[in-house]
Amino acid sequence: MEINEARCCGQCLRSPPPFETTHVPWRYEGDIAAALQRFKFQADRRAGHLLAALMDEGLNTLKFEAPAEILMPVPLHADRARERGFDQTAWLARQLAARRGWQLLGAQRVRATPSQRDLDRRARRRNVAGAFRVPRALPETVILLDDVMTTGATLASLAGACRDAGVRHVSVLAVARTPSRMHRIC
């Protein structure tokens, strides 16, 4: 895996994530954060459609290292999806897949993990370690999707499961990332 050192934080240089590229077009603040919160916690489909349209438009200038074969959303645990009434990342993935003509493939969150909200980088990694199961018949390239990326621990855990299943190229998409300098990712 080749990493662009000019765009990576020290943590990613010391311990590279199990994905090659990351595309996160917005910071999790202001109107984007408000739209994501309405979508995620109030099931506001209008906010979801806006976020999907913005993501789709942003993807027009993105060049993947390998052709996109599968879009895989980071899954919620079934209990958390029942609490919210839906899985916001799976919903967003269906919208993007339909707009882009991409195939969807689901992963499974095999254990309920506590919220990552108040955890530091190391605790986040431990919290989601081994939390995902993916189908064994995966293509060479997978694009993972999440709504918000903070330290990248959740996406790294899912990417690791994909690598273990034989995926050679893993890219990451997220709507927004937290703006803290200590959470910068490649």
126-184 pLDDT per residue, tens: 777 877 889 877 888 999 999 999 888 899 999 999 999 999 999 999 999 988 654 44
Q: List, as one string, the DSSP characters of 76-117.
A: PPHHHHHHHTS-HHHHHHHHHHHHHT-EE---EE-S----ST
**Cβ-proximal residues to 53 (8 Å cutoff; 6+ apart), any chain:** none
Percentage of the chain beyond pLDDT 70 is: 85
Provide the pLDDT for residue 12.
Answer: 63
- pLDDT at 116 > cutoff 90: no
Query: Which structural domain range is residue 63 located in?
Result: 5-111+118-183
The one-letter amino acid code at 83 reads: E
Is the dihedral angle over the CA atoms 83, 31, 62, 65 positive or is it negative?
negative
Query: In the structure, what pLDDT confidence band is assigned to residue 65 with cuts at 50, 70 and 90?
Result: low
Strands 169-177 and 21-23: parallel
Beta bridge partners of 172: 22, 144
Judge whether 147 and 36 are in contact, CB under 8 Å. yes
Pick from 41-50, 110-119, 175-184: least confident: 175-184
Question: How many domains is the chain built from?
Answer: 1
Mean pLDDT of the chain: 83
Point out the least confidently predicted range of 35-49, 56-70, 84-98, 102-116.
56-70
Here the CATH number for the domain that contains residue 100 is 3.40.50
> Which of left, alpha, beta for 15 (phi over 0: left; psi -120 to 50: alpha)?
beta
User: Phi-psi region for residue 130, left (φ > 0), alpha (ψ -120 to 50) or beta?
Assistant: left
Given pLDDT bands bounded at 50, 70 and 90, which one contains residue 95? very high
